Structure 1
Amino acid sequence: MSDFFAFTPADWQAIWLTLKLCFITTLLLMLLATPLAWWLARGGSWFHTVVQSLVALPLVLPPTVLGFYLLILLGPQGWIGQTLESMGLNHLAFSFNGIVVASLIYSLPFAVQPLQDAFGRLGHRPLEVAASLGASPMDRLLTVVFPLCRGGLVTAATLSFAHTMGEFGVILMLGGSIPGETRVLSVMIYDYAEALDFQNAHRLSLLMLVFSFLILVAVYGRQRRFSLFAQRNVNS
């Protein structure tokens, strides 16, 4: 039984690369998704609808389709890839930076939607009260918006991290399976299964299954506590 949980050096390399990808993607997503979600929550024009649809597109688009077009765009023959190479830089296909870009796009709705819902529930009244008391826009952001919407912030960060960890199709299409560069856990499991090494595939799959379950328990548990707290405040 102990041998079942004995990870190989290649496994540890994939685990470290996956965690690195998840942390970087989550950090960048929170920086990008927070102002975007605020803008979407405060607007109702047709342009907001178009942007919201573009943000949510990865939810319905097959990952291989998104990965294919990113490969075309970021590869050596693509517009972005050629632009980078003309500047003396490397194109982004089959690289860690490339799968970071892919992860940002593919996990964007999992960061934006919880934040947008939280900002939408906030309403205008708390900000108006804070402004009437002389609070600057930055003060309102730090002392009103973030504290009242912390549940949405935590949910967005948690779901972004977990969804990035489970990505497969986009990463495989754009990054392939390069050890130490693009071979994350999901790709490693695929490589094991393709080689009929089901014991190693099962070990890593079980690790991701347990982690994903614990993430969902944490998210739904926090949402339940928030709902009970809000209900007690209404009843009181």
Structure 2
Amino acid sequence: MTRPLIAVTGRRAAQVPILRFSATVAAEAICEAVWAVGGEPVILHPPAADPIAELPARLEGFDGVLLPGGADLDPCRYGAQPAAETTGTVAFQDDFDIGITKALLDSGIPVLAICRGMQVLNVALGGTLHQHLPEVMHHNSIHPVDVQDSSRLHGILGADRIEVSSYHHQGIDRLGRDLTVTATSADGVIEAVEHRCADIVAVQWHPEDRHAESHTDAALFADLVDRARKRKANR
């Protein structure tokens, strides 16, 4: 059977500050994770000129979409002034990510959002972000998160608590409309959300990080590919 096509939104490596992970490596790890569970990953390029042009048309033919991590989102997108710690923002990347997220809401295409992807989802739906969380940063760390037992995420992971790998200094503040919190860390950081209507699951951590590789990490990618496969079969 032909593998379902999974669009992975592209990133420019120069956008990611040197103290964080390499965007190129992250994209490679994500693509490997999608391939390992039966998907066909395809990088969707974010053009600097007219990044949101033809987005609905570009999504046609894809069976699923993965919104990966990346640099900070410009605070102007949620009505805030930038803090000193907010760095690496790129206007056309924000335009592209927010535009594609909004296009996905009514598309019926299954989505998995990771780290920045979850933050973009929240902002696209009218939410805001904490720009810097030094006391709860989890930078390059393994830590536990608690999963809501009534959530889709719980059904995917099959666990009340899991160990995750995080690389972030920003997180959700005010929750966007139609989003439900599905996991939190002990310090109160929102670690996962899902959309009440659209087929979207989002996590703050990096399931593609092989340093924390486990059945729960693979389960998120397997779930995306399974949802994509069902969409492909029904089209």
TM-score (norm 1): 0.26
TM-score (norm 2): 0.26
- Which is richer in strand? 2
**Greater per-residue helix proportion:** 1
Structure with larger Rg: 1
Query: Relative contact order (C-alpha < 8 Å, sep 6+): which is higher?
Result: 1
